[in-house]
Structure 1
Amino acid sequence: TNDSAIRGPLGAPVHPEQYQTNIRAIADALLVRYPGAMILLHRPIWYSPNTHNNSSYLREGLERLNSYFPVLKKLVAEYAVTHPGQLCLGDTLAYDHFREKRDLYFAEEGKAGTFSLHPNERGAKELGAFWGKAIRYRLTQEPVFTEYPLNTVKEIPAAYEDQKMGLTAPSLRIYLPEAEKATGRMVIALPGGGYRNLMMTYEGYDWAEYFLSKGIAFGVLKYRMPAGDHTLPYADVEAAFNLVREHATEWKVSPEEIGIMGSSAGGHLASTFATHAPAVDKPAFQILLYPVITMDQALTHPGSRRNLLGEKPSQELTDRFSNELRVDGDTPPAFIIFAADDKIVPPANGLHFAEAMVRHKRPITFLLYPSGDHGFGNRESFAYKQQFFLELDRWLEGLETGGK
């Protein structure tokens, strides 16, 4: 848009109607010259976040840019009829990313003060990354993500010398919905694997599309294996929630709307955080798929218990991580699903947790399907996937603000 966004002697303001005409003319010319082309309309990001001298320059520019955003959506809708799949909305996230990032611009002196208008080398690379992700998504239809290291590793336990013992570099993979779809809600998923490894696909990454379609931001935590030290994975969950809260404004996430999701051993870790964390740090809600809940030898998954607590944990430690015993009046609402023929984690794990939620008058939904065994996650092979998703849809829609 260059100076089209501002008034005054140096500007030539373009009204939204004219902007639409201009974009349409460019798109039509490209489609004539390149009939099979796909055109992506990225949101413009023109900014001067350094202007704090009462200049109207910044305000005028931002107001004008925001008036262009609906134009882009309207054009995409129109061309979807005449040129299906050829004119698409591109990046919508960079606009907010650059809002407070003064260090990504050149500082330029002008009559009205110091302006930060044009990306410097680092800014251009970051902007290019946003555009590249949008292009990749349109070409592959795979959700775009960013991987954030958690930096929770201070030293590597001796047990990790066995390369099978899991991760030494925990991270959180973040998927964000399109800005105009964002509801403010987020889910952080903890894949299972018996506290020995992680099923990152069908219990993690494969869920991104489901949540993004609902305007819910989504994260997948790659957490450390405990090797008998139960503090390690818990610390990674804490770090993941802190990271999201630090970026809440940038990512359009409400800190009170961050829920947790866990599968199998990941369900144990998720329910541990939901029942052990201080009330102010608890997740807003919990989604637990065939979760390990108890450490009681009669009902637990033996490998998860051994890997988390060691070979011969004390009764005190066993009780502390039997999360059905930790439910209280502050435990967040829970959605639990099991298959009756689960041979790995007895469904009684979920049932006892649900009973504890009922005793403490906490919101609980417990689903038990006739078959599906263990580890069905987001797999198409799960015979009751459609019913499961419909129930989860209704539950998410029924959650009150703040997940309480």
Structure 2
Amino acid sequence: MDLAYSEEQLLFRQSLERYLGENYSFAHRRHVAAKLHGFDPEVWAGLAELGCFGVPLTTEHGGFDGRLVTTGLVMQALGRHLVVEPVLGSAVIAGRLIARVAHAAQRDELLTPLIAGTSRIAFAHDDLGTKASLKGGADGYRLTARKTAVLGGATADRLLVSALNAAGELRLAILDAGTSGVSLHPYQLLDGSWAADVLVQDVTIGSDRILGDGSDAGPAITATLDDGVVAACWEAVGAMQAAYEQTCAYVRERRQFDRPLAGFQVVQHKVAEMAVCCEEAGAAALLAALKLDSEGADRDRAVAAAKVRISHCGRFVAKEAVQLHGGMGVSEELPIATYFRKLLTFELMFGSSMEYRRRYVKTVIAARAHEMSAVLPAAERADITLPAA
């Protein structure tokens, strides 16, 4: 297996890093997060021009790449620069879900403007209370839904809403955000990005607004949310690396007792542990991206392991970065406090670390992989069973 990035991937990452370095300062980021609901049209157009929104999609679907590793490089750069625009929710999750479920005409209608940056689609999936329902038939449907924590929902012009039909199968409906009966309630997340709760009150839609050929969208949703988890892992890795690098620069510059902080052995140990965590997190994210093209337990195990490991490493790096900066680590003058909030937010995205630990354990036991353990005594291996759901 070749783990080296291609020349095209490296050039693309370099171009994106250069664009963000010139156009997305920390001060600009604070303005976008506070005043613009996390969306700068000029930055969005610039990212589209670079091809960022086409990277998560294959050429068959009008995109440029389709591999999660290349998508991860995009997200890593966005994480380093604390970009709050909804690339994860729109280009990665909504884009890849449409590519999986929609038929050709729907893909052309929805993905072409998404890739060009002229449309922003948010995926509304998590129900707030009663599960969303889709009632009707070939002549039309009535959709009722209350969705929460919709990434990018605050500035979306279209909504991709999941709902159960009469047979208990998941379907995906596409709605304009301005449709009568649809209301958005935006709010800011801990890391400064924006989400929204979505209320759909008995809205009538045509059968052409239901994505796909009528089959259950559940498996496609599960696979796409795994894509989103891994993309978010890469974004967290980028934030970790930036926090680590800025901490290294700070301890070299900051002096105490007539010497730089970097001259104290205890500080060197902390910085070394941060470096190890960054390497571990990067390896976990890369492995998960490579496994996403596989099926079954290997895929599930890699995604769960990446989420758990990167959550743990991210918390450690964020905590030590704040500690080594002292009082400046909790001020708004430096990005460190924002990296801290970014990494804490990641830890809770798509479910807590404990949920992903359970998922990892279930995949290991279901595959009987624990029976090959060199650590567990043979007598204990036989007593391990799947935990209750």
> How does the TM-score come out when normalised to structure 2?
0.29
Greater helix fraction, Structure 1 or Structure 2:
2
Larger relative contact order (Cα-Cα within 8 Å, sequence gap ≥ 6): 2
Structure number with bigger Rg:
1
